[in-house]
Structures are given as structure tokens and as C-alpha cells.
């Protein structure tokens, strides 16, 4: 072989190896940045298409798929698709789904301490205070979160969907007005006891049955965030809407612990960061949904009653024994509610300055 041919052969080999090395390096960088194999997360929630939880879940889908260039995908399942709200919680525990939005009003029998979220008049009537508490509370993000983890569930965040309203076929502005009213509630002991203390007949049904029960007089009234009342068309079959601020509707974004901790660290980080972003976004989103719902309600043929503080105080007085009942659930429950009460007062003071 001539000298010139050997030179070209050597030059070709060097260039080839350089290209292969560069490609291999880029391939390693691409694999490292991907964080692992492609995965599809099953994300279930309790509400219908277009409701607040659905907007939250689909926002998470958008954020995480963009963040990972589509390597982590999300399938969103609306309320009723995978069974009742309680079925969603059990499916999460067994690992049949990976992520869920589950409300304490439905998880109270499984995690008794989570009923703290449904105690009437416990939270502030200032939503900014409640947002601060949900983000920073050690009672919720520490003590209560530990209770979720005891049953194999990790709560990423507790967040709110707005104040709860009452709707009914009669005006309810004093505890006596509640006597004999068949009020639909979520199926946890403390919520049922709360309405019994106020004189109502507590009736538990799944969310998907509320409209039919109202229409057929199986129930006389119900409680829910305003957006849910409007989206569910409950105003079609109710005469009165009471703005009571008796408590906020809180919920939690959660994951199956074994599934999440089995993911590569990069995947865990990406999911957590996406959830954090969506959770911050959710506070403004639910404000907007509440405003849109109020505009629709005001145009509807229904009487809207805003209870002043003295009337709200009367309902609070008759429901106070519920706090005692909650404390008797366990020593942890007692510690939790006393700490949360302190945190709420401190947040009210701080935001008032």
C-alpha cells in the first residue's frame, strides 16, 4: 500500500472514531438527561370534566410532559371513571393508579385525622390566611402527612377549592332553620355529626348522585364549593344559595408511596417540581373559577344569601362539640388540631398587620 493510501486510511479511521465518540457522548448525555425510561402516570380525581380538580390534573399533565419532553406522560381519569371517590383512594393504596386528588371528606374513615379539614368554622374566613396555612402548616404538612404515609400514601400538597356554600329548598340563616333538613354530606363521621348537631338529617351520597337526589327530593340541600354547585346544575333544582363560609373545601394531591419511591431520583424530582408549580397556579385558578361561578349564580333565578358574622357565629357555637370529638380520636389528633388552631391565629395576625 502506498504512503498516500495509508495516510488517507489513517485519516478516515481517526475521523470515524471521532464521530462515533461524539455520538456516544451525545447519546449518554441524552440518556442521562432523560432520567430513565418512558412512563405513563395514571392520575385520577373526584370531579367532572372542566371542574377544578380536572383543571389541576390536566395542568400537571401539561407541565410534566413539557418538562420531560414527553418522556413522562399522564392519563387523566375524571370522577366516576374508576369508581367512587372512595374507590379512587383504595386504588391508589393498591397501586392500581399512581397519582390522585383525594378529599378528606372521603378519606376520613381510612385516615381519621384527615377529618380535621372538615371541621366547621375551624379555618379563617380570609382565603389568603387559609392559603398561607395550607402551604406552611406543620400540623398538616408534618403531622397529618405522616398519617397518610402510614397507609402507603405520600401527600404532595394540601390545597383548597374555595369556600363551601349551602344550597337548599328553604332559607337557612339560623340553626333552627336546619331542623329536619335532609342535607347531603360526604361520608365521614365528623361531617355527619356536625350536621346532626345543627339539627339536620345527614344523608351521605356519592357526588354523582346529588342532582338526582335533589330533583327527586331525596335530599333537601347540600354543601359544596360554588363552582361545583354551578357546574353540577344544582341551582336548577334549588331555591336558595347560602354564602356561609362554614369551612373551605380542601383536598390533597397524593401518590402511591411504593410507586413514587421506586422511581429514579430524577423522575421523582421532575414530578415534585411539576406538582409544586401546579399547586401555586391552583390558588389563582380556583379564585377565577369561583368568580365565574358567582357571576352565573347571580344571573340565575335563585336567592343568594350572605350570612353576616353574627349568624355564622350561631352555627359555630352549635358545632363546637365537633372539635372535642375530633380531639378524642387520638392523642395525635389532639396535638394536630391545637397546633393548627394556633397556626391559623398566627397567620391571621400576620396578614392583618
Report the range of poorest mean pLDDT among 12-16, 110-114, 243-247. 12-16
Is 174 part of a structural domain of the chain?
yes
Q: Is the pLDDT of residue 4 over 60?
A: no
* Average pLDDT for 186-214: 91
Predicted pLDDT of residue 329: 87
Is 85 part of a structural domain of the chain?
yes
- The number of distinct structural domains making up the chain is 1
Work out the pLDDT band at 35, boundaries 50, 70, 90.
low
CATH number at residue 254: 3.40.190.170
Model confidence, pTM: 0.86
Is 208 part of a structural domain of the chain?
yes
Q: Is the pLDDT of residue 296 over 60?
A: yes
Q: Give the model confidence (pLDDT) of 141-196 as tens digits.
A: 999 999 999 999 999 999 999 999 999 999 999 999 999 999 999 888 899 999 99
Is 3 part of a structural domain of the chain?
no
Domain carrying residue 306: 37-352
Residue 326 CB burial class (10 angstroms; 0-12, 13-18, ≥19)? buried
Is 9 part of a structural domain of the chain?
no
Average pLDDT, the chain: 89
* Average pLDDT for 298-307: 94
Work out the pLDDT band at 129, boundaries 50, 70, 90.
very high
Q: Is the pLDDT of residue 223 over 50?
A: yes
Q: What are the grid coordinates assigned to 41, written together?
A: 402516570
Report the range of poorest mean pLDDT among 3-7, 164-168, 243-247. 3-7
Q: What are the grid coordinates assigned to 133, written together?
A: 396555612
Q: Is the pLDDT of residue 124 over 70?
A: yes
Work out the pLDDT band at 24, boundaries 50, 70, 90.
very low
Is 26 part of a structural domain of the chain?
no
Is 328 part of a structural domain of the chain?
yes
Q: Is the pLDDT of residue 33 over 50?
A: no
Q: Is the pLDDT of residue 31 over 90?
A: no
Is 256 part of a structural domain of the chain?
yes
Amino acid at each position: 500500500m502506498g504512503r498516500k493510501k495509508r495516510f488517507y486510511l489513517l485519516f478516515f479511521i481517526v475521523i470515524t472514531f471521532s464521530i462515533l465518540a461524539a455520538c456516544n457522548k451525545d447519546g449518554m448525555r441524552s440518556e442521562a438527561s432523560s432520567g430513565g425510561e418512558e412512563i405513563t402516570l395514571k392520575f385520577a380525581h373526584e370531579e367532572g370534566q372542566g371542574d377544578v380538580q380536572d383543571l389541576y390534573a390536566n395542568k400537571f399533565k401539561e407541565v410534566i410532559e413539557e418538562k420531560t419532553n414527553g418522556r413522562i406522560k399522564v392519563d387523566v381519569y375524571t370522577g366516576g371513571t374508576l369508581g367512587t371517590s372512595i374507590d379512587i383512594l383504595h386504588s391508589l393504596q393498591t397501586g392500581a393508579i399512581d397519582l390522585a386528588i383525594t378529599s378528606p371528606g372521603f378519606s376520613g374513615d381510612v385516615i381519621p385525622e384527615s377529618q380535621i379539614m372538615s371541621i366547621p368554622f375551624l379555618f379563617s374566613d380570609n382565603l389568603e390566611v387559609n392559603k398561607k396555612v395550607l402551604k406552611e402548616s406543620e400540623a398538616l404538612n408534618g403531622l397529618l402527612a405522616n398519617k397518610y404515609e402510614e397507609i402507603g400514601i405520600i401527600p404532595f400538597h394540601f390545597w383548597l377549592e374555595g369556600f363551601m356554600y349551602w344550597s337548599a329548598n328553604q332559607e337557612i340563616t339560623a340553626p333552627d332553620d336546619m331542623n329536619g333538613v335532609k342535607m347531603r354530606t360526604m361520608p365521614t363521621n365528623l361531617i355527619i355529626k356536625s350536621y346532626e348537631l345543627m339539627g339536620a338529617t345527614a344523608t351521605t351520597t356519592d357526588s354523582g348522585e346529588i342532582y338526582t337526589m335533589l330533583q327527586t327530593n331525596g335530599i333537601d340541600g347540600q354543601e359544596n364549593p360554588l363552582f361545583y354547585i354551578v357546574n353540577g346544575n344544582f341551582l336548577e333544582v334549588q331555591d336558595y344559595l347560602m354564602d356561609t363560609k362554614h369551612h373551605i373545601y380542601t383536598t390533597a394531591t397524593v401518590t402511591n408511596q411504593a410507586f413514587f419511591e421506586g422511581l429514579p431520583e430524577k423522575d421523582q424530582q421532575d414530578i415534585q417540581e411539576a406538582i409544586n408549580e401546579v399547586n401555586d397556579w391552583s390558588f389563582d385558578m380556583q379564585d377565577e373559577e369561583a368568580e365565574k361561578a358567582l357571576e352565573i349564580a347571580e344571573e340565575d333565578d335563585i336567592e343568594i344569601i350572605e350570612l353576616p358574622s353574627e349568624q355564622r357565629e350561631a352555627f359555630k357555637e352549635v358545632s363546637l362539640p365537633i372539635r372535642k370529638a375530633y380531639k378524642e380520636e387520638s392523642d395525635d389528633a389532639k396535638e394536630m388540631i391545637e397546633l393548627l388552631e394556633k397556626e391559623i391565629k398566627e397567620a391571621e395576625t400576620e396578614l392583618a398587620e
